[in-house]
Structure 1
Amino acid sequence: MGTTNEGGGEAARTVGLRDLLLLSVGGMIGSSVFYYPAYTGKWIGPAAVLAWLLAGIGMVSVALCYTELATAFPESGGPAVYPAETLGSNPVVRHFFTYLEGTSYALGWVFGVAVSAWYVANYLGAIPGLGAVRAHTVAFGLLAIAATVAVTYAGIDVTKRANLVLTAFVLAVLAVVAAVGLANGAPANATPFVTGSGTEFLAAVGVAITGYGAWTVVPAAAGEVKNPGRTIPRAIVGSLLLTTAFYALVVLALHLTVPGNAFASGSAAMYAPLSAIVTATGHPLLADYALPLAALVAIFTTMLVGLTAAARVLRALAE
């Protein structure tokens, strides 16, 4: 049926594997890795590494289903296209589920972008000398949304270039933090390995998996992907494996450098777990400047990817 072709036609296919891979990674690595490791560590201790690994592997199984659909129907706005293409011959049924899926997807990203924008002032205010920014949460949140809309409106080529630079910076900072923690950590900090119950382990997996959802930008932008039959599967699976590896290394570094009893309510490790890694290893400049800036950039890339995906799904829904 070619649902998304009924309007003005597909955009040019200019997005390659590297671009798509980093769009997906940039969307996934947002505020979750800068905040949630404190909660998983508090609940189950160093076993949180397994929770983050299991969450990533579990998400791959879901993503493989979307991969099949995205390669079969490589059109922009994929999540809104698939019901119209696959749910039988009754147009009422197909259009109803297209509407349901498309609006749910877009509203989910609207909520995600709004929540991300809410934390912009918080992370910006964590940089020494900028603490007063935290009193202007709404203003800086709206400014971040406006900047994201401007980049998205400029088109996929501008979006992918901006995301490439920003995501590379975030990954570089996380790699340094993980390397510092692994090099200076002590195995004694990771004992006992499991400190929670089975229920708490499952809760930790549930929290960790929220950091793996933005790969859906790949099927959402499938109509602009070069050689989609080869690029889409590699981008989806590759981005999930890369993100899983980064998350696991960062969480492992956290538990090698920060003892389990540090994750108490109101503690510095609960408020900024990654900063606790570099503070404990004698690198305060990383904690004061690099990590808050990386968290801020990660939030922006998540917002950028979210608007990119939602815009294409809404366009497909309209068509």
Structure 2
Amino acid sequence: MSRPASQAGAPDELRRRLGVPDAVVIGLGAMVGAGIFAALAPAARAAGSGLLLALAVAAVVAYCNATSSARLAVRYPASGGAYVYGRERLGAFWGYLAGWGFVVGKTASCAAMALTVGSYLWPDQAHALAVAAVVALTAVNYAGVQKSAWLTRAVVAVVLAVLAAVVVVSLTSDGTDTARLAIASDAGPWGVLQAAGLLFFAFAGYARIATLGEEVRDPARTVPRAVPVALGITLVVYALVAVSVLLVLGPQRLADSTMPLADAVRAAGAPWLAPVVRVGAAVAALGSLLALILGVSRTTLAMARDRHLPHVLAAVHPRYGVPHRAELVVGAVVAVLAATADVRGAIGFSSFGVLAYYAVANASAWTLTPAEGRPPRLVPAVGLAGCLALAFALPLSSVVTGAAVLALGAAAYGARRAAGVFVSGPR
């Protein structure tokens, strides 16, 4: 049973302000972010010379997930993404599990992105700068989603300019060698799958477009257009950057690098560009953090409406039209994590949670009828199988931790349902 349409101006409804360009920019801000600066090296360690193949696998799974999510977002244009889709198509538990995995995994990712900002800009004061970044971006989100979209547009412009400079300098260098692109025997299938799972971390930002389904104008037109455009641009950018860095460094040097893009421009004979790349990485992390806080707060809002989280978090600000209490709580939790822990190793854990989230989205899309805009059956089938394969190919510590967190969430759901604490279905 679908949630009934809310009345215009209802106090707990978000305002529809975003068009296609805004939605594309928010998706780009989440995807063309710190992932490309941080995920290439661990992916190269896992896949070796099969890095580009891993990128292709991650892109195929991301495309299927994006297509399923876009079709579902048209049918259910409300905040929450796969939490809403799973609840409406598969049942309350599956929606809850998707939302739980997303909120927990992405909250850790928020702290990781904040620490990335601090580490690149002021390593000696990384934690303090990380907290300052969280506070500042939470304030931007609190002031309204349109202001977030404008800031994201600026961040995307800076990051794309930096990445373009890396590509041009690398491709025009005398140190390039096309032999470094060859796939050697070290690219085993398991390593390629593990690398694809790690690279998926950098693609997962298109979820922000779906979680903003309640804030876009004409969702039936905006979401299906914005998702593939944002994903397509991101894939082209990532492919160009990966090829350029491989041509200069090769898979082994890339795997050993802590700042691969900065090392690539140094190897290409442009050391003057390395500080610019570091600033670009910090700006990219800011863009990712902005979009992550945006997405987590919207899923928190949706879960709070159904009392899977404290119902007080379901409030929407009467002036700014944002889930202000959810944003403040998310910001506070992320700030505490950024101040007290180093969670930059959470990429694998975050990928596991987000892959579980998209597995629910694909299973939900499978249940759509042709009249409801179901995608070709192959899309959700490949998406679901791909999510499961990539999730369990991740490093063992990520799999164990991620599975334990999902199990903890499931146990909490069962206990709270038995106690009658929350409603078990749509309002």
Aligned twin of 1:307: 293
When structure 1 is superposed on structure 2, of 75-84 and 298-307 the one drifting more is 75-84
1:153 and 2:150 correspond: no
Aligned twin of 2:218: 227
1 CA distance for matches of 2:106 and 2:278? 23
CA-to-aligned-CA distance 1:94-151 (integer Å, 9 cap, x gap): 3x44443333322222111011112222111xxxxxxxx3222221111111111111
* Preserved contact between residue 45 and residue 195 of structure 1 (Cα < 8 Å): no
Aligned twin of 1:187: 177
SS in 1 for 2:214: helix
* Preserved contact between residue 28 and residue 156 of structure 2 (Cα < 8 Å): yes
* Preserved contact between residue 163 and residue 301 of structure 1 (Cα < 8 Å): yes
Considering only aligned residues, what root-mean-square deviation do their CA atoms show, in Å? 2.2
* Preserved contact between residue 103 and residue 314 of structure 1 (Cα < 8 Å): no
CA-to-aligned-CA distance 1:138-193 (integer Å, 9 cap, x gap): 21111111111111111101000000011111011111211221222533451643
SS in 1 for 2:59: helix
When structure 1 is superposed on structure 2, of 175-184 and 220-229 the one drifting more is 175-184
1 CA distance for matches of 2:96 and 2:249? 47
1:114 and 2:111 correspond: yes
Aligned twin of 1:276: 263
SS in 2 for 1:5: coil
Q: CA 1:14–1:112 in structure 2 vs 1: closer, same or farther (change >3 Å)?
A: same
Following superposition, the deviation at residue 300 of structure 1 comes to: 0.9
* Preserved contact between residue 218 and residue 236 of structure 1 (Cα < 8 Å): yes
1 CA distance for matches of 2:237 and 2:205? 15
Q: CA 1:294–1:263 in structure 2 vs 1: closer, same or farther (change >3 Å)?
A: closer
Counterpart code for 2:193:
L
2 CA distance for matches of 1:264 and 1:154? 41
How do 1:1-319 residues align onto structure 2 when only pairs under 5 Å count? 1-2=2-3, 5=6, 8-87=11-90, 94=92, 96-124=93-121, 133-184=122-173, 186-190=176-180, 192-196=182-186, 197-263=188-254, 265=256, 270-288=257-275, 290-319=276-305
2 CA distance for matches of 1:297 and 1:222? 26
2 CA distance for matches of 1:53 and 1:191? 14
TM-score, length-scaled by structure 2: 0.66
* Preserved contact between residue 120 and residue 282 of structure 2 (Cα < 8 Å): yes
TM-score, length-scaled by structure 1: 0.86
Q: CA 1:204–1:102 in structure 2 vs 1: closer, same or farther (change >3 Å)?
A: closer
Following superposition, the deviation at residue 3 of structure 1 comes to: 5.9
SS in 1 for 2:164: helix
2 CA distance for matches of 1:192 and 1:77? 42
Q: CA 1:79–1:175 in structure 2 vs 1: closer, same or farther (change >3 Å)?
A: same
When structure 1 is superposed on structure 2, of 215-224 and 199-208 the one drifting more is 199-208
2 CA distance for matches of 1:59 and 1:236? 11
Instruction: Could you tell me which runs of 5 or more consecutive residues in structure 1 were left unpaired when the two chains were aligned.
Output: 88-92, 125-132
Counterpart code for 2:176:
A
Aligned twin of 1:127: none
Instruction: Could you tell me which runs of 5 or more consecutive residues in structure 2 were left unpaired when the two chains were aligned.
Output: 306-427
CA-to-aligned-CA distance 1:23-59 (integer Å, 9 cap, x gap): 1111112322113222333444443122212211221
2 CA distance for matches of 1:112 and 1:223? 24
* Preserved contact between residue 10 and residue 224 of structure 1 (Cα < 8 Å): no
Aligned length: 300
Counterpart code for 2:271:
P
